[in-house]
Amino acid sequence: EDKVVQSPLSLVVHEGDTVTLNCSYEVTNFRSLLWYKQEKKAPTFLFMLTSSGIEKKSGRLSSILDKKELFSILNITATQTGDSAVYLCAVGSGNTGKLIFGQGTTLQVKP
Amino acid sequence: KAGVTQTPRYLIKTRGQQVTLSCSPISGHRSVSWYQQTPGQGLQFLFEYFSETQRNKGNFPGRFSGRQFSNSRSEMNVSTLELGDSALYLCASSWDLGRRYTFGSGTRLTVV
């Protein structure tokens, strides 16, 4: 059965800290891995990774995929209170729109 | 351009009733997927549509159904509602299958 596992499930840090969120997967016919941020309702897109070893960056956020070891990490440097959210990892399988989501990591950034 | 629009935003229904939720994708997007989000199970895939055809279905009972219209708008229907159907229902759209999906803000369904 396909599965996506995120760790840790929750994290509390202080502003300015650097955090690393983990996502491991066992999915047949892997196509892509996506990271989303969910604050209130709509998950907002962060990154989509398809190739191993290529880092994607957007400001203080970055992510990398290891297709051999079947995992991805999401790094957030110099955290701010606005980074407080649930971070979701999802894996796309085959040529379909189905995404398999992990449980999410709840990040709380304290002032 | 406008994002993914879901209506209604909130809904309260009684057990045994049925409900229809609506999703208008981003203009030009042909693929629409639906997810159920609950605190215990997280986000679970319901089904996806592409060019009015259901392409994939998740592991949900037949009470959950959906359709897509020629303008790519989609509806999902849940019949004979149960308390456990209380959840946030999210719709996501993409211009093609397997691409980056943009989510709507969801419909919060409460079954009492």
pLDDT tens-digit map of A4-27? 999 999 999 999 999 999 999 999
* Lowest model confidence (mean pLDDT) among A35-39, A53-57, A68-72, B59-63: A53-57
**pLDDT at position A43:** 94
Adjacent-strand bridge partners of A36? A45, A88
The token pair that represents B26 in the structure block: 């981003």
**Taking a C-beta distance cutoff of 8 angstroms, is the pair B104, B3 a contact?**
yes
**What is the torsional sign of CA A44, B39, A83, A105?**
negative
Rounded Cα gap, residues B38 and B12, in angstroms: 16
The token pair that represents A80 in the structure block: 């701010």
pLDDT higher at A29 or B38: B38
CA angle in degrees (0–180, nearest 5) for A45-A46-A48:
90
Residue B33 with chain A: CB contacts under 8 Å: 97-99
**Taking a C-beta distance cutoff of 8 angstroms, is the pair A36, A49 a contact?**
no
pLDDT at B1 over 70: no
- Nearest CA distance, A36 vs chain B (angstrom): 10
- Nearest CA distance, A76 vs chain B (angstrom): 21
- Residue B94 backbone phi and psi in degrees, to 5: -150, 155
Mutation target vs A (from B44, B101, B109; most A CBs, 10 A cutoff): B101
pLDDT higher at B41 or B21: B21
